[in-house]
Structure 1
Amino acid sequence: MTFWLLKSEPDTFSIDDLRDQQEAPWDGVRNYQARNFMQAMQPGDSFLFYHSSCQPPGLAGIGRITRAPYPDQTALNPESPYHDPRCHAERLPWVAVDVAFVEKFPRLLSLAELRELAGLEGLALLQRGSRLSVMPVEPDQWKILLAAARRT
């Protein structure tokens, strides 16, 4: 199993939305490096759900990948906020995965709190200039993050 961190703006799609739907597509990623990470995802992988572009940003819960990467059709839909006019059915570089709700943390673990945790020096989220919406998490980092997030 591989561990991931997926970012979403909570006013667009939040951990509560995923909990309410139980399963949903994770689509709309339009960065090639993030796309490459998504292409490596497999059913059964777990991810930390991170609320971004809000105050405060932070870890909100856990989800699971339920479907391997597949072509992200939102890129072809002019009505979609994720439409990519450069794409067509024969050339669709973007992928989506399906995700399921696992757990909502008792409280949001803020970015400021994450920066204070020992053992996360290599976590991509905490690197200066890191803006990726999809990134891998090492198993030791996963354990540290879960322990901190589950503390009330």
Structure 2
Amino acid sequence: MNHWLVKSEPFKYSWDQFNEDGRTFWDGVRNYQARNNLKAMQEGDLVLFYHSNEGKNVVGIAKVVRAFYQDPTTEDANWVVVDLVPVESLKNPVSLEQVKSEPSLADISLVKQGRLSVMPLKATEFDKILEMGS
């Protein structure tokens, strides 16, 4: 199993809306590195859901339930989506400041590549963030 983090601006698509929907395809990715990360996702992979711009918090855990396929919002074959379902909310959202202050997370893309919207995490990094949110 692999671990990931996806970012969404809450005014566009929030964790609460995701929970109401119960399932979504992760669309709108128009960065090749983020697209390649979507292509690497497999069914069963776990994903941290991060509110970007407003809040700047990891707020929940999702799971990949369908590997990549053509993004239905565009005819351009370069872009793909995956299907995600919510798993659970973090008891305590983990802020970007908390992530940045944790030495074991200094090298994650959330810190190093702030604009990247889909990024891999090592299992230890994923677990550390979950620990911080419990």
TM-score clears 0.5: yes
Distance 2:91 2:14 in 1: 15
Q: Which moved more, 1:100-109 or 1:139-148?
A: 100-109
**In 1, are the aligned partners of 2:4 and 2:48 still within 8 Å (CA)?**
yes
Aligned to 1:57: 56
Aligned to 2:12: 12
**In 2, are the aligned partners of 1:42 and 1:67 still within 8 Å (CA)?**
yes
Aligned to 2:127: 143
1:27 deviates by: 0.8
SS in 1 for 2:74: helix
| Deviation beyond 6 Å, 4+ runs, structure 1 | none
**1:95-126 superposed Cα distances (whole Å, 9 cap, x missing partner):** 00000010111232111111112311221111
Distance 1:25 1:36 in 2: 16
Identity of aligned residues (%): 40
1:15 deviates by: 1.1
- The answer to whether structure 1 residue 99 and structure 2 residue 91 are counterparts is no
Q: Which amino acid in 2 is paired with 1:112? A: E
1:14 deviates by: 1.1
Computed over aligned residues only, the root mean square deviation of the Cα atoms, in angstroms, reads 1.1
Aligned to 2:71: 72
Unmatched runs of 5 consecutive residues or more in structure 2? none
One of 66, 91, 99 as aligned partner of 1:114: 99
SS in 1 for 2:104: coil
**1:9-30 superposed Cα distances (whole Å, 9 cap, x missing partner):** 1111111111111111111100
